[in-house]
Chains A and B, each alone.
Chain A
């Protein structure tokens, strides 16, 4: 059984149907990429999964439970964490305060500290900057912080919405490496990306979203070698 199973998802903004019946799934241990052009509806799907916005129709199963109508804040303790588009770290709080808020729903102090140490080990720069106001971090550091903050909840499934947005090419490769590391250490990943080439390269499977519907699906490799995908998303 899939860790995340989405069926018949429809989302509207007023009269505009942004998502028009989308089915997809993410299996335990996978990296699944969701790629698509600007405005295809990727962020809308991510928000709808976490119930930050309402759904018109559809069903979402997570870890064997129907989470279609479970409010966003209750999904975190169930094991679903999201790094939203644009990172949205708490600019006015310090790095370490941001990280502790990531563990907001966890109770055990010792375990939280252990996770914090893991995060600091993976991202030593965050340890160096723990007292710094998060808004003053560089874009790349903010992305690390956003990802680490989500990991602080110890999620089974990590939803990443365009983690490479606005980063320099070198940094982008860094971020993709980190995603692979996180995945290797046992976290399942659903990755939304514009950066289709690199996303497909690390993804087990991928879905292509085109104005609210899924137009294609396959393994990362298959889609990388698909002619129409190459033309549309990989620059020839």
Chain B
């Protein structure tokens, strides 16, 4: 029971991050390699605000604002000038942004890990099993966030515009949709999700360091690919699947040392049978 809840809660954290990868990929057609580092910036924002005022909710708010502004600026300054450039150039730029963010964090906060005490939870007892309060909170809030995002994308005019840009950028422009604005919005949403992910990640591992974003970033990217990159429900399913598998493996002593290998093995197996991921669609060739 507690493994299930913990696994699901790690899964929804991955899902939040994976959504950032998948939405940016689907709409801006690029792999935002620096997405993981947005989580790191979010975590440091929480850390810094806590150090200044000691209050959790302002810390979360600051993290969201900082991440959104950062995401938008990175898109504007680094990626927009490369629109239409080769995917390789964009990927290399994104890797550059990733290192830049890590170096800046290291300059400001130093390389050694710092501890972040955000909330303290008392475990909840149900019958004869205990459930982590942090996991329960993570699970609840993330489900609400993902439901809201799903509604936004599928039910609002702006959401439909995002889907339209994702499917056919040129045709979307012919509808009068400002593609640059939609891409900016996508980065803003992705970064806000990353900020929330950073908060929950701190509940899971209460420590920050400049490369904190790499591992959850890569895991979430894997989740996005498993689910079918570009697909929003795919990212959610991929994230939850990966979180569950990771948590289960870590708690079975015989499997624990191989957890990461098992996760990436799953990726390979799924891609062998479904090259576009679980919910991915084969891209229709343009006529």
Partners in one complex: yes
Residue positions of A touching B, CB distance < 8 A: 47, 50, 52, 71-77, 81-82, 84, 86, 88-93, 97, 100-102, 104-105, 149-150, 153
Q: Known contacts being A91-B284, A93-B160, is A101 close to B167, with CB within 8 Å? A: no
A82 to B287, CA, bound (A): 17
Other than the given A47-B170, A93-B160, A104-B176, 18 more pairs (CB < 8 A) read A71-B173, A72-B170, A72-B173, A73-B173, A76-B175, A77-B176, A82-B174, A86-B287, A91-B167, A91-B284, A92-B167, A93-B164, A97-B160, A102-B175, A104-B157, A104-B161, A104-B175, A149-B175
Which applies to chain B's interface (DSSP): helix, strand, loop or mixed?
helix
Render B256-287 as a binary contact track against A, CB cut-off 8 A, 1 for contact.
Answer: 00000000000000000000000000001011
Render B141-160 as a binary contact track against A, CB cut-off 8 A, 1 for contact.
Answer: 00000000000000001001
A50 touches B171 (CB 8 A): no
Residue positions of B touching A, CB distance < 8 A: 157, 160-161, 163-164, 167-168, 170-179, 284, 286-287
B176 touches A153 (CB 8 A): yes
A93 touches B176 (CB 8 A): no
A105 to B173, CA, bound (A): 11
B170 touches A52 (CB 8 A): yes
A93 touches B163 (CB 8 A): yes
> Which A residues are in CB contact (< 8 Å) with B164?
90, 93, 101
A88 touches B171 (CB 8 A): yes
Q: Known contacts being A52-B170, A92-B167, is A104 close to B177, with CB within 8 Å? A: yes
> Which A residues are in CB contact (< 8 Å) with B172?
101
B174 touches A100 (CB 8 A): no
What's the nearest-Cβ distance from chain A to residue B286, in Å? 8
